[in-house]
């Protein structure tokens, strides 16, 4: 049903349920182990176990594969192997086939799957497969291939405004610096996992996937079948961060294995295959030049970025935030992508902007140092009135200056020493750092089906997913608020492709978009109730299970059982507006004067993201993103073996991530802002804003503590220990 918003509607401005801190309604299921994650489900009887075998080379051909010993091993039911299986195609956004052979595109590309009665039998039999290869030379070192990398495909890969070269040459104060960020791995708790079953030509996948509709279309394309014959069911996801936006080898191999075995097959990718077989964040090389007047006003700004990927496109565009954050009449941004034979790079929380801030916001700190200017004030001086990269555009709602000012006041920024290396606390050198944050506020079309039962209960059905972010709760809050019932009167069903297509979870669009779709369905249900009972639903008040229309009142139950669909779609309003979210990030660190070890002492993020639908879960979202940003700044790095083209530290024993002890104090403040442009909820999402900036604030704090500037992430102590100031 087409949705038209009620004229003059301000339903959510009274905020009786939406906008209130609410414990997650799925929390009891998760804390008691009852939430049905993909690998643990028992919906399908007679499940067999699959073990995926990954390629032992990064580039070349499979010369031979002997599966005879594996085939005769105890418990083995079937083996899907490259030599005897027709190659499958690429799905949505896959840069290489998810099932390889005879050609190998990257290390640990899936080349076989052993199916057995038990997990242990499948794993053992897989070890008996003997594969020989014809290895080819590959390109594995970004630094070597970057100088010849072409501009990324697309109209926005290079953008200019004014005359950057002339303005930079004339600027009295200049910064010219290069920064690097490494490849990074997803480290979600739940690995990629799928249970696949066929019924005739119909395929069901119980899986862990962020985007159900994309997954349905992708599996159809990969297997060459009608997507209508594919059902995706993903009600609970144990972390995604972009790594589960697209179909991966677990789903493809489970489907192929189930077809060959003639029974359901379950697969969870082993941890090393998370790094090398799925997707990771691309490494970048960034060159930033800024020219400014002596009062700090930027006259010229350039940000060039190099990354690489399997297909020579779809790189990590670290320039995305640069056209949006600061004023400056003369500008240049350029994004170059090299072809690399490493595993596929793809979306990871705030792709582009997350690593772009690691360079841009350190560059701003360096510029402030050259100017002898407070870093907070430098950012405020360069606050734009219109979108600098698109000067014909306005900001839908922007409160970055307020984030910075309120953050500085709350954090005690005035106590920061202006002289690096001069603040001590016993053996610790103390420093404070700041960074601004920008993340786009995208929206995606999203729909839902809403049912009113005869007893007044509401059920919401949508293929929206919950990746640990609280989707169940904010959708229930939206339906409860719109329909005028209590939260416990709402049941939410998510993640099933049989339900209406939603926005899915990703890109910071999930919360604002999915709730807008639920709102649209609820408004249509209200209208259906009004039509049945004889009142104008758009002018009525739905509250406490009752309805008031003029001088008449009704019980919601008088309407009986009804249902309605609704979808929120978006026109071309972004032609006129830039919809973004903003933050001021503040960090205090201590650096051990004797050992060089860095310890984060406290972090603060002040966020401007429109209406916060559930401050309790939104705060957790931002805190989690701040932790990921700390990991990127201080410890996370996939180490590339440039000889053989694989990530050496491909498990959680070698790939370090932050733990609770690494960050003792975090605080998050949400401004009381509403964005009237973006959705009826006036919300924009906040899940990725928290990773855009804190890492650079950490780098700036380390400089303030030590006087040492490091431009190559992660900021591990061997990069600066030899330059530490002498201990008195």
Q: Identify the CATH homologous superfamily for domain 44-136+206-271.
A: Aldehyde oxidase/xanthine dehydrogenase, a/b hammerhead (3.90.1170.50)
Q: pLDDT value at position 1?
A: 47
Is residue 6 over pLDDT 80?
A: no
Q: Considering the domain 11-35+444-569, what is its CATH architecture? A: 2-Layer Sandwich (3.30)
Exposure b/e, 276-306, CB count within 10 A at least 16 = b = bbbbbbbbbbbbbbbbbeeebebbbbbbbbb
Output the DSSP codes for 503-520: --S-TT-HHHHHHHHHHH
Q: pLDDT value at position 15?
A: 78
Give the Cβ contact number of residue 322 at 10 Å.
Answer: 29
> Which residue intervals of the chain bear CATH 3.90.1170.50?
44-136+206-271
Give the integer Cα–Cα distance in Å for 132 and 391: 58
Task: For 307-344, write each residue's pLDDT tens digit.
Answer: 999 999 899 999 999 999 999 999 999 999 999 999 99
Task: For 666-696, write each residue's pLDDT tens digit.
Answer: 999 999 999 999 999 999 999 999 999 999 9
Is residue 10 over pLDDT 80?
A: no
Query: Is 587:430 a contact under the CB 8 Å cutoff?
Result: no
Q: pLDDT value at position 390?
A: 82
Is residue 728 over pLDDT 70?
A: no
CA 408 from chain centre, in angstroms, equals 27
Structure-token pair, residue 568: 């929120």
CA 386 from chain centre, in angstroms, equals 27
Structure-token pair, residue 260: 């060959």
Residue with tokens 């601004």: 436
Task: For 360-369, write each residue's pLDDT tens digit.
Answer: 999 999 999 9
Catalytic residue positions, numbered: 688
Q: pLDDT value at position 9?
A: 57
Report the percent of the chain where pLDDT is more than 90: 93
3-state helix, strand, coil in the chain (%, to 5): 30, 25, 45
Is residue 38 over pLDDT 60?
A: yes
Give, to the nearest 10 degrees, the angle between helix 471-483 and helix 510-533: 30
Task: For 246-304, write each residue's pLDDT tens digit.
Answer: 999 999 999 999 999 999 999 999 999 999 999 999 999 999 999 999 999 999 999 99
Q: pLDDT value at position 383?
A: 98
Query: Is 515:610 a contact under the CB 8 Å cutoff?
Result: no
Can the peptide bond before residue 724 be classed as cis, meaning omega within 30 degrees of 0? no
What 3-state DSSP class applies to 408? helix
- Rounded average pLDDT over 588-597: 97
What 3-state DSSP class applies to 588? strand
Closest CA to 601 of 725, 404, 429, 720: 429
Output the average pLDDT for the chain.
96
Give the Cβ contact number of residue 176 at 10 Å.
Answer: 13
- Rounded average pLDDT over 113-134: 98
Instruction: Kindly give the pairing relationship between strand 330-339 and strand 490-494.
Output: unpaired
CA 213 from chain centre, in angstroms, equals 18
Is residue 12 over pLDDT 90?
A: no
Is residue 3 over pLDDT 70?
A: no
Task: For 41-96, write each residue's pLDDT tens digit.
Answer: 999 999 999 999 999 999 999 999 999 999 999 999 999 999 888 778 888 888 88
Is residue 230 over pLDDT 90?
A: yes
- Rounded average pLDDT over 600-617: 98
Query: Which tops the pLDDT comparison, 232 or 90?
Result: 232
Closest CA to 599 of 610, 588, 608, 609: 588
> Which residue intervals of the chain bear CATH 3.30.365.10?
11-35+444-569, 374-442+576-723
CATH for 374-442+576-723, options being 3.10.290.10, 3.30.465.10, 3.30.365.10, 3.40.50.720: 3.30.365.10
Q: pLDDT value at position 154?
A: 75
Contacts of 10 (CB under 8 A, 6+ apart): none
Query: Is 559:531 a contact under the CB 8 Å cutoff?
Result: no
Closest CA to 373 of 298, 288, 295, 431: 295
Give the integer Cα–Cα distance in Å for 244 and 513: 19
Is residue 232 over pLDDT 60?
A: yes
Is residue 2 over pLDDT 60?
A: no
**What element of type H or E holds 260?**
helix 249-261
CA angle in degrees (0–180, nearest 5) for 484-569-239: 80
Closest CA to 381 of 438, 296, 476: 296
Of 499-503, 575-579, 636-640, minimum mean pLDDT range: 575-579
Query: Is 142:338 a contact under the CB 8 Å cutoff?
Result: yes
Report which DSSP code applies to 610: B
């Amino acid at each position: 049903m087409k949705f038209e918003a009620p004229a003059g509607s301000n339903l959510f401005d009274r905020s009786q349920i939406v906008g209130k801190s609410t414990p997650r309604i799925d929390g009891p299921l998760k804390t008691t182990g009852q939430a049905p994650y993909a690998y643990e489900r028992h919906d399908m009887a007679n499940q067999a176990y699959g073990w995926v075998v990954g390629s032992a080379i990064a580039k070349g051909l499979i010369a031979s594969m002997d599966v005879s010993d594996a085939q005769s091993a105890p418990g083995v039911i079937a083996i899907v192997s490259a030599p005897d299986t027709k190659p499958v195609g690429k799905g949505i956004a896959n840069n290489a086939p998810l099932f390889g052979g005879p050609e190998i595109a990257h290390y640990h590309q899936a080349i076989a799957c052993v199916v057995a009665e038990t997990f242990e039998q499948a794993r053992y039999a897989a070890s008996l497969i003997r594969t020989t290869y014809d290895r080819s030379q590959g390109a594995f070192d970004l630094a070597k291939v970057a100088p010849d990398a072409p501009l990324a495909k697309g109209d926005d890969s290079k953008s200019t405004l004014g005359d950057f070269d002339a303005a930079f040459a004339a600027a009295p104060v200049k910064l010219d610096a290069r920064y690097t960020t490494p490849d990074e791995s997803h480290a979600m708790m739940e690995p990629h996992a799928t249970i696949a079953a066929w019924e005739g030509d119909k395929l069901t996948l119980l899986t862990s996937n962020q985007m159900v509709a994309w997954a349905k279309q992708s599996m159809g394309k990969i297997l060459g079948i009608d997507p209508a014959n594919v059902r995706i069911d993903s009600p609970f996801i144990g972390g995604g961060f972009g790594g589960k936006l697209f179909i991966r080898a677990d789903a493809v191999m489970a489907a192929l294995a189930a077809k060959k075995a003639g029974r359901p097959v379950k697969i969870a990718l082993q941890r090393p295959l998370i790094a090398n077989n799925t997707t990771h964040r691309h490494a970048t090389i960034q060159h930033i030049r800024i020219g400014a007047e002596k009062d700090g006003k930027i006259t010229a700004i350039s940000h060039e970025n190099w990354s690489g990927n399997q297909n020579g496109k779809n790189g990590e565009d670290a320039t995305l935030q640069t056209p949006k954050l600061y004023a400056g009449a003369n500008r240049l941004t350029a994004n170059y992508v090299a072809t690399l034979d490493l595993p596929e790079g793809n979306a990871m929380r705030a792709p582009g902007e997350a690593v772009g801030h690691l360079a841009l916001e350190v560059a701003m700190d360096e510029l402030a140092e050259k100017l002898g200017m407070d870093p907070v004030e430098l950012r405020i001086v360069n606050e734009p009135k219109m979108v600098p990269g698109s000067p014909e555009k306005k900001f839908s709602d922007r409160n970055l200056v307020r984030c910075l000012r309120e953050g500085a006041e709350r954090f005690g920024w005035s106590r920061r020493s202006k002289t690096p290396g001069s603040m001590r606390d016993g053996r610790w050198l103390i420093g404070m750092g700041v960074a601004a944050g920008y993340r786009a506020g995208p929206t995606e079309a999203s729909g839902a089906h809403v049912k009113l039962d005869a007893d007044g209960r509401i059920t919401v059905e949508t293929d929206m997913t919950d990746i640990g972010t609280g989707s169940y709760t904010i959708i229930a809050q939206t339906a409860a608020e719109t329909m005028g019932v209590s939260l416990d009167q709402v049941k939410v069903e998510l993640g099933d492709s049989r339900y209406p297509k939603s926005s899915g979870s990703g890109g910071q669009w999930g919360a604002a978009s999915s709730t807008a779709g639920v709102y649209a369905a609820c408004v249509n249900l209200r209208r259906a109730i009004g039509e049945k009972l004889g009142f104008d639903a758009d002018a009525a008040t739905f509250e406490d299970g009752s309805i008031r229309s003029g001088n008449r009142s009704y019980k919601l139950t008088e309407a009986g059982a009804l249902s309605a669909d609704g979808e929120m779609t978006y026109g071309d309003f972004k032609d006129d507006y830039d919809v973004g979210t903003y933050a001021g990030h503040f960090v205090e660190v201590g650096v051990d004067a004797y050992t060089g070890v860095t310890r984060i002492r406290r972090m603060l993020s002040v966020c401007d993201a429109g209406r916060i639908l559930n401050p309790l879960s939104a705060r957790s979202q931002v805190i989690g993103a701040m932790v990921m940003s700390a990991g990127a700044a201080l410890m996370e790095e996939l180490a590339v073996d440039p000889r053989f083209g694989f990530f050496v530290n491909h498990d959680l024993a070698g790939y370090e991530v932050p733990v609770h002890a690494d960050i003792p104090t975090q605080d998050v403040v949400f401004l009381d802002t509403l964005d009237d442009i973006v959705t009826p909820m006036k919300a924009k999402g906040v899940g990725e804003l928290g990773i855009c900036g804190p890492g650079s604030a950490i780098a700036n704090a380390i400089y303030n503590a030590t006087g040492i500037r490091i431009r190559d992430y992660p900021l591990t102590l061997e990069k600066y220990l030899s330059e530490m100031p002498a201990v008195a």
